[in-house]
Amino acid sequence: MNTKKTKKNILPNNQRVIWIIGASSGIGEGLAKYYASIGAKLILSARSKDRLYQVKTSCKGNPMSVHVLPLDLEDKASLSEKAREALRIFGRIDTLIHSAGITQRALAIETNLSVAQKIMDVNYWGPVAITQAILPSMQQLGQGHLVVISSLMGKIGTRFRSSYAASKHALHGYFESLRPEIYDDNIHISIVCPGFVNTTLGEKALKGNGEKYQKKDEVHARAMSVPQFVKRLIPHLNKQKEEIFIAGSEIKAIWASKFLPGKLFRKKIREAKVI
């Protein structure tokens, strides 16, 4: 482990090897298209091999610089080998982006424990397993950037999102604790907290019995597009900013949680319309 506090220069994005988990749709797909367009070497991962190849085809730039590596975050036993396979592709990982996730549309009491476990496996345990498998190689390189796409729900909790909020709170706890442990290794962590973004995340949300919600909520339909979100996000990632909030009016909930008295804030949360 490198105990020196002198920092190496940040590699330009077009010279970085970037592994994007959750690259088949949404923010992960948007980031893949951006980084491919500037010449970065990419590894794209998600469950659907076919969808990943569709994303690869849509990426501009050298197709030899974009590699598809399907994986299933629920299959924790396979993730160490997937990490080793990712490292063999280009010889290193400079930036690891955790963008995969599933959300929820159910009251806590109506959510089967198997559904809660699935959400935790995909949103928390999968990213932890891959991070721990990749970290030694970043320490050996003496540099690295971990990007965690979390949510405003990593900071607050609302009805119908108990397991989802729990998984995102867990991500914050793990990566905030990891941050000082790897500071001297010149490995940076950016935790990204999006508000509403117009993706298919809501439609793929799980109901309490595990069935998909299969509806796009009005608030998501009116939300910022993925390209708009990525455009706002990239400057913060370039600076390796530690915590990044990108949201519309829903960002007010974060400021309210910081400045309103706790009892009043919780009353506001109870009264909020959540879908």
Per-residue model confidence as pLDDT tens for the chain (275 residues): 444 444 555 778 888 999 999 999 999 999 999 999 999 999 999 999 999 999 999 999 899 999 999 999 999 999 999 999 999 999 999 999 999 999 999 999 999 999 999 999 999 999 999 999 999 999 999 999 999 999 999 999 988 999 999 999 999 999 999 999 999 999 999 999 999 999 988 889 999 999 999 887 777 778 899 999 999 999 999 999 999 999 988 888 887 887 778 888 788 777 776 65
Q: Three-class SS of residue 148? A: strand
With vertex at residue 141, the alpha carbon angle to CA 182 and CA 63, rounded to the nearest 5 degrees, is 115
Q: Three-class SS of residue 222? A: coil
Residue 263 is given by DSSP the state: H
> Residue 153 falls within a domain, yes or no?
yes
Is 164:123 a contact under the CB 8 Å cutoff? yes
> Residue 110 falls within a domain, yes or no?
yes
> Residue 7 falls within a domain, yes or no?
no
pLDDT of residue 9: 54
> Residue 168 falls within a domain, yes or no?
yes
Instruction: Write the single-letter amino acid at 229.
Output: F
pTM check: above 0.95: no
> Residue 149 falls within a domain, yes or no?
yes
CB under 8 Å to 142, separation ≥6 — which residues?
A: 2, 8, 185, 186
> Residue 265 falls within a domain, yes or no?
no
pLDDT of residue 215: 84
pLDDT of residue 274: 63
> Residue 193 falls within a domain, yes or no?
yes
pLDDT of residue 260: 78
pLDDT of residue 3: 44
**Distance separating alpha carbons of residues 197 and 222, to the nearest angstrom:** 8
Is 163:111 a contact under the CB 8 Å cutoff? yes
Q: Could you tell me the CATH number of the domain that includes residue 158?
A: 3.40.50.720
Q: How many domains does the chain have?
A: 1
**Distance separating alpha carbons of residues 141 and 102, to the nearest angstrom:** 32
Element housing 226 (H / E)? helix 226-238
> Residue 255 falls within a domain, yes or no?
no
In which domain, by residue range, is 172 found? 13-250
Is 106:59 a contact under the CB 8 Å cutoff? no
**Distance separating alpha carbons of residues 18 and 24, to the nearest angstrom:** 15
**Distance separating alpha carbons of residues 199 and 221, to the nearest angstrom:** 8
- Per the residue annotation, which of 164, 174, 183, 213 is the catalytic one? 164
Catalytic residue check, 53:
no
